[in-house]
Structure 1
Amino acid sequence: MSTSDSKVVLVTGCAKGGIGYEYCKAFAEQKCIVFATDILHRMNDIDLSPSKYIDTLELDVSSDESVALAVKTIISKYGRIDVLVNNAGIGSTGPLAELPLETIRRAWEINTLGQLRLVQQVVPYMASQRRGSIVNIGSVVGKVPTPWAGSYCASKAAVHAMSNTLRVELKPFGIDVVLVMPGAVRSNFGSANVERLGGQDWKLYKEFKEAIAERARASQGRKATDGGVFARHVAQKVLRPRPPKVISFGHMTGLFAVLSWSPLWVRDIFFSTRFKLHKKL
C-alpha cells in the first residue's frame, strides 16, 4: 500500500462499542492509515482486522511514557502523524459536593490532561512538516453544564478553552485545531457511567439516587445519533483542505445551542426540573 497520499491518523480511546472505534472505521473508509489505540486491557476488544488501513497500538493517555512510546512508534514507521483525534475519555457523574476528589481527578487526568499530553508529543512533528490537524473531542455540556455531571462538564470545558487557545497558537505552524462538540451519540458511554456509580453511597443526595443514575445514561436515549453516522460526519469534515474550527453534531445539539444563549434563570429552571432538583428538601 502506497502511503504517500494517505493521511496517517492517530485515534485514542478505541475500545469496541465506543465512538473512537467508529472514528477508526470512518477514517479508514477515507483510505487513511489509522492507528487505533487504547489501554492494554481494552486492546483485545479492538477488532478492526478486516481493514487493511487500520493497525492497533497500546496507549494510555494518562501516562507520559506510554504516549511518548506510541507516538515514537508511529513516527518510526511512517515518519509523520497527519491527524490526531483526542477521543479518549471517561464519564464522571455525581453531585460535586460529594463526589470524591480522586474520582474527579481521574476524569480530568484522562479527559483534559490526556488530550494535552498527546498534543505536546505530536505537535513537534506536525510543526516540522508545517501541517497537521488536531481534533479535540469536547461536548455540548462543556459549553452548557448540567447537574449531576459537573466534574465531566468541567473537564470538557477545559478542553474547549485549550482548543481555542491552541487554534491560535499553532496557526503559525500550519496546524489546524478542530473542536468537536458531540450531542447525544449512541455508544457504551452511558452503561460505563452507570457502572461507575454502583459503588457510590450518597449522603446528602441519597434521595436523588435515581435522578443521578438517569443523568449517567441521559445521552443514550432511543433518539441518540448513531455512532457510525456521527463518526463519518466528523471524519469527512476533518479531512477537508480547510477543516472547520468547530463541529457540533448529534441529537440535542439544537437544544443546547438554545440553552447556551438563554438567560441563566431559564437554564436553571430547565435543568432543575429535568433532574429533579426543583423542590426543596
Structure 2
Amino acid sequence: MTSARIGDVDIEYEVDGPDDGEPILLIMGMGAQLVAWPPDLVEALVAQGFRVIRYDNRDQGLSGYTETPRPKPVVLAAGLASRRWATADYTLVDLAEDAAGLLDHLGVGTAHVVGMSMGGMIAQELTLRRPERVRSLCSIMSNTGDPRNGRTSARLLRPFLRLMRAPAPTTREEAVQRGIESFRIIAGSEFDEDEMRVLAGLHLDRGGITTASRDRQLAAINASPDRTPRLREITVPTLVIHGLRDRLVLPSGGVATARAIPGSRLIMFPEMGHDLPKGRRLEIVEEITRNARRATD
C-alpha cells in the first residue's frame, strides 16, 4: 500500500491488476476502509482485466484525519432532520475531489467508477463534477440525497443504540466482536461471521473505526445537497445495485437513483442487505463488467 498527497490530505490507496488494464476506481462507504471490498470480488475484477484502484476516504483507515473535534450529537441530529441545519468540515464534493486527485496522482485520465453506500454518493458526485473522467458508473446500496428515499429503517434504531451504549471494548477480541455485531445488524440473510471476523480484525489493524471520523463523514452527507435533478445530466453507462433487505439505506434509494439517471440499469437482490453477499459477488462483477463494456461499444 502507498499514500498520495491530495490537496491538504493524505490518501492511502492500493492498486491490483495489470498496468495496462482498464482502470476501475472502487469507493468505499462511511466508516469503512479499502479492505472492506471483499478480496474475491477484487480478484474477480482483476480476472476481467481491470486495473483495480481502492483507497481509504479521508478520516478513515490509513488516510489523513481531520483535526477538528467530533461533531456534537445535537448537531448531527439537526442535520439529519433538515439539511438547512447541517454543518460539516467537508462535503461529498470534497470527497469526490479526493477521488479525482487520486486519479491525477496515478496518471489515470478516465476510469470506471464503482461506489458503495456513501461511496455511491461520492461516485455520483464525481461523475457529475468530472464527467470527462468517468467511463461508466456503478452505484451500490446508495441514494440520491433526496431525504424521501433511501432513508434508514426505524428498526435499526434499537440495535444501533444498544451498540453505542455498550461499554468500550477492553481487549482485541471484544473489539473484533463489536465489529462483527456492527456488520451483522446491517447485513442480509447470507451474513458470514467468519469472514466478518477477518474484516473486523483488518479494520483494527489499520486504525479501527473512530466515532469522531465516522460522525464527520455523516456530517458531510447531511450537508450535501440533493443530487436528483443533476443526476439526469449523467450520460455514461450506469448500473444501480441494491438489496431488498437493506435497512441502512432502504431499497427506495436504489430505485430513486435508477429513475433519476437516464438509461440506467437497476438490479435488486432479494437476500442482500447493506453488504455484498458472497453468493452474488461473481454476478455483481459480471454486471459491472457488462456495464463497463457499454462504454466502449
**Normalized against structure 1, the TM-score is what?**
0.40
Q: Which of the pair has the greater relative contact order for Cα pairs under 8 Å at 6+ separation?
A: 2
Q: Which has the higher helix share?
A: 1
**Structure of larger gyration radius:** 1
